[in-house]
Copies of this chain bind each other. A is one copy, B any other.
């Protein structure tokens, strides 16, 4: 099993690294440099035709792409500690909060990144007005998560789950992009310090 990874600030490969670290799974890793555009090289396109990282190549050659799909594969292979829940309600709550992170926060952060950031200036079809219009949406999303975390230890359940991994990697990527959380989001900040102190966050 080979894990095709890219270093920070790429947020999606980091999701898998944190997930694996929480389960003490050691991945046989190959690094794919986004800065050097190695994800678009013929060698990598042969593995993942979409030219994105991460990818997980199984021993029979089957390739799984999409960070959350790779995490679900690892969870099914090694259920403990469970990060996608075990009871019907936990499973639903983790999915609900994971989707909120991706659709409400990450979609807006991505729009700012792709349409306004200096590092993506060469991408075709940029729309600066659309990118700028997403900055207040990012802020509104951060305030939603701040309110949701008030008085709670973790985002979806009583414990650390995939939803926390998605929020942590998104918060850190948003800061890199220059649209980080407002300073007065106290519950979000406290949660961020808490989950960032876990050894897995160094992944």
CB distance from A24 to the nearest CB of B (A): 18
Instruction: List the B residue with the shortest CB-CB distance to A58.
Output: B89
Which one of B58, B89, B129 contacts A129 once the chains associate, using CB atoms below 8 Å?
B129
Q: Which 10 A-B pairs have the closest CB atoms?
A: A76-B88, A73-B92, A69-B96, A69-B95, A130-B130, A66-B96, A66-B99, A64-B92, A69-B92, A72-B95
Is there an interface contact between A95 and B68, defined as CB atoms closer than 8 Å? yes
Pair A66/B100 contact, Cβ less than 8 Å: yes
CB of A65 within 8 Å of the partner chain: yes
A88:B95 contact, CB within 8 angstroms:
no
Chain B residue nearest to A130 (CB atoms) is B130
Asked if A87 and B96 make an inter-chain contact with CB atoms under 8 angstroms apart, the answer reads no
- B76 touching A91, Cβ below 8 Å: yes
How often does this chain occur in the complex, in copies? 2
Interface residue? A45 (CB, 8 A)? no
Interface positions, chain A 41-99, Cβ under 8 Å from B, are 58, 62, 64-66, 68-70, 72-73, 76-77, 87-89, 91-93, 95-96, 99
B125 touching A133 by the CB < 8 A rule? yes
A69-B96, A69-B99, A130-B127 known; A89 and B62 CB under 8 Å? yes
Query: Is A107 at the interface (CB under 8 A from chain B)?
Result: yes
Contact of A87 among B65, B76, B87, B88 (CB under 8 A): B76
Residue pair A127, B125 in contact (C-beta under 8 Å): no
Task: State A91–B95 Cα separation when bound (angstroms).
Answer: 14
